[in-house]
Amino acid sequence: MRGLAAVMQGRRIQYAETLREGLRWPFPAGLAARLTGAQVLGFRRRAKFMLMRIEGGTSVLIHLGMSGRMVARGAGHIAASQGPQGAVSDARGHNAPPERHEHLVMTLEDGTRIGFVDPRRFGCVDLVPTAAEDAHRLLAGIGPEPLEDAFTPAVLGAALAGRQTPIKAALLDQKIVAGLGNIYVAEALYRAGISPQRLAGSVAGARVLRLVPAIKAVLTESIEAGGSSLRDYVRADGEIGIFQENFAVYGRAGKPCPECPGLPGCGGVAQIVLAGRSSFYCPKRQR
């Protein structure tokens, strides 16, 4: 979102075009027309959704899903494309051929072209009145923002109390806390020394006191590193985030965790499936 804001905030969208009917859901009627000619007023984020305020009291709600990315190119911006499609890096403006899996294109007056690229099409775009952003059906009921001061051990502890589901599943539940995904849940639980299998209701006392700062630290550090770039994700400016280099457990099955450097009898990071998702943890450090 910060990358997009740097490119789009205060600028006017000269022309917008949808290149297919929709992604996860059909694009809202008149999306391209609403974007065309509108000035971009500002951005905010709620959970994993970006909200782009444009003229006319409208906001554009954007979710990148699993494989989505916003790509800015032309007018001096570095292309985010990679591989064989990299040849379009010096293409400018709206006449450039669409990148593979580019579904929505916005061209600014200076020729910058911003594309929503999403191979798996799990992402979504919708329009919502700016005055009622949080009333959108996809945002209603979402839990507290983990980086805000209001997210305290007391608040998380209350949300987890009585829950019989594994803490891993509870933290992925956006109604309990907003914006955590599979990677950051794994990393936060590692730092807090909590097993992903532990029942959520039993995460209390000292464990919640460790978990809340662990969540805040993981997210803050990753944002500072530009995010985590696995497979196809790149930021709007084409640079990749580098937080994946700091993963302690995610994707590191069998390798020693940072705190247990190859001790005899230690099998290293374990991988199990919880809530339908791969979970990585150190059985020695996480209880």
Partner DNA sequence: CATTAGCCCTGAGAGC
Partner DNA sequence: TGCTCTCAGGGCTAAT
Q: Which residues make up the interface to DNA (CB under 7 A)? A: 24, 47-48, 63, 65-67, 83, 100-101, 119-122, 138, 163-166, 169-170, 172, 174, 181-183, 200, 228-233, 275-278
What's the angle, vertex CA 3, arms to CA 66 and CA 40, rounded to 5? Answer: 105
Judged by CB, which is closer to DNA: 54, or 186?
Answer: 186
Rounded to a whole number of angstroms, the minimum distance from the CB of residue 254 to DNA is 12
Judged by CB, which is closer to DNA: 108, or 183?
Answer: 183
Rounded to a whole number of angstroms, the minimum distance from the CB of residue 94 to DNA is 23
- Cα 104 to Cα 40: distance, rounded to the nearest angstrom: 16
Beta strand segments in the chain, E: 13-18, 40-46, 49-54, 58-63, 69-73, 102-108, 113-117, 124-129, 270-274, 277-281
Rounded to a whole number of angstroms, the minimum distance from the CB of residue 63 to DNA is 6
Judged by CB, which is closer to DNA: 232, or 239?
Answer: 232
Q: What are phi and psi of 218, to 5 degrees?
A: -60, -45
Rounded to a whole number of angstroms, the minimum distance from the CB of residue 174 to DNA is 5
Element (H, E) at 166: none
Judged by CB, which is closer to DNA: 11, or 48?
Answer: 48
Helices 206-224 and 182-192: crossing angle in degrees, nearest 10, is 130
Residue pair 243/227 in contact by the 8 Å Cβ criterion: yes
Judged by CB, which is closer to DNA: 41, or 253?
Answer: 253
Rounded to a whole number of angstroms, the minimum distance from the CB of residue 68 to DNA is 9
- Cα 113 to Cα 46: distance, rounded to the nearest angstrom: 25
